[in-house]
Amino acid sequence: MLDYLNDISENYMKDKSFKPNNRLLMGPGPSNVHPKVLKALARPTIGHLDPQFIDLMDDIKSLLKYAFQTENEVTFAVSGPGSVGMETCLVNLIEPGDKVVVCINGVFGGRMKDIIERCGATPFEVTAPWGSAIDPSELENKLSQHEDASIVAFVHAETSTGAKSDIKTLAEIAHKYDCLTIADTVTSLGGIPLLIDDWNIDCSYSGTQKCLSCPPGLSPITFNERAVNLIKNRKSKVQSWFMDLNLVLGYWGSGTKRAYHHTAPINSLYGLHEALLLLKQEGLEQAWERHQSNGQKLVNELGAIGILPYVKADERLPELTSVAVPAGVDEADVRKQLLEKHNIEIGAGLGDLAGKIWRIGFMGYTSNEENIDTFVSAIRGILENK
């Protein structure tokens, strides 16, 4: 017995709590989490049907309406990352046999196409080169060829390339052909102008880990009345039980009496609430301006050392800058040195852009001038020693 207890004690001493390095997160997400958000995550857990928690949910809905610039009643946070938000929007609005136009200029437009096919619908692609915005005239041409399409899906800020599309114009064209619109705003929410109501976006999903500077694991979504009516009048059941809005809204709906649907990630929602409060305290327009100013500063300072932006200026995201890897430089080795020697994380290129670009994110709490100076000094030193 004594030997057994000694073994347990010895093994226990070997086990240690996980303590990650304090990285400067300058990749495509997650961004660094604000200290107030981290503190909020550690507050006491309460039940997911506790009256206090119901009040918190209502506050989150109100704050998300501000962030999205919408009055949509169906605005809340899905329990899951941005990809779950994407699926929630698509599986609720698409039925087998539907025809959907999907705009693809990077990884995440392609992911939407995959989900559309899994819903039993037929996708029609509008494509643009990776690193470029979707051309509105190409969408118009595609819809004129497929006037029986019912939905148009597009990405506002393509995380895989750093390119921004004009979704206000894309939505206008889609509605001209009586299509509902689904917008991926994962990397744009809180970082660049996004006006759900003014731009008449029917449905949108986002993520918490980008410009909101909250840990990943929640996906803010919003549906307008037109989209909700379509969901309520579907001919077939939503293919996902967990994501079926007809069921989820029993939990996230109005009023204090909520129907049990699932056990919400309570502490994560504490964090989101705090992050949204910080956004409102700064002011949405001020947050947009901060990202724009810092994004331009980054481009200017990198340009001075020969690192040039990959995306042209009028289509470039200020919060996520893709830059061309200089000729003869081992891009993976540079990223490795940044991480190991400077505790700085940046992103590599994906798909067609693998090995060709770096993706440098200055989102949310990470977006400040001091971090830009730190990063530029670090990468300058690495390149000078090549």
User: Domains in the chain, ordered, with CATH?
Assistant: 24-31+283-384 (3.90.1150.10), 35-280 (3.40.640.10)
Q: Is the pLDDT of residue 4 over 70?
A: no
Q: What's the one-letter identity of residue 224?
A: N
Kindly report the length of the chain: 386
Residue 256 pLDDT more than 60? no
Q: Which two tokens stand for residue 46?
A: 């309460």
Query: Residue 263: its pLDDT value, please?
Result: 87
In this predicted model, what pLDDT tens digit does every residue of 96-105 receive, in sequence order? Answer: 999 999 999 9
pTM, entire model: 0.94
**Mean pLDDT, residues 310-319 taken together:** 98
State yes or no: pLDDT of 317 exceeds 60.
Answer: yes
Distance, CA of 373 to CA of 96 (rounded, Å): 52
Q: What is the pLDDT of residues 10-24, one digit of tens each?
A: 555 568 899 999 999
Does residue 309 surpass a pLDDT of 80?
Answer: yes
How much is the average pLDDT of 323-348?
97
Distance CA 351, CA 356 (A): 10
3-class DSSP assignment, residue 257: coil
Say what percent of the chain tops pLDDT 90. Answer: 88
Q: Does 289 have pLDDT greater than 80? A: yes
Q: What Rg, from alpha-carbon coordinates, does the chain have? A: 22
- Position 7 scores a pLDDT of 54
- Mind listing the pLDDT tens digit for each residue in 360-378? 999 999 999 999 999 999 9
Q: How far apart are CA 64 and CA 75, in angstroms?
A: 7
User: What one-character-per-residue DSSP string does 111-173 give?
Assistant: HHHHHHHHTT-EEEEEE--TTSPPPHHHHHHHHHH-TT--EEEEESEETTTTEE--HHHHHHH
- pLDDT category at 49 given cuts 50, 70, 90 is confident
Per-residue model confidence (pLDDT) at position 10: 55
Task: Return phi, psi of residue 321, to 5°.
Answer: -100, 120
Mean pLDDT along residues 180-198: 98
**Per-residue CA distances from 4 to 1, 7, 8, 10 (Å):** 5, 5, 6, 10
Query: Residue 266 is encoded by which pair of tokens?
Result: 């309570």
Greater pLDDT, 174 or 48:
174
d(CA 240, CA 92): 8
What are 228-240's pLDDT values in tens digits?
Answer: 999 999 999 999 9
Does the pLDDT at position 310 exceed 60?
yes
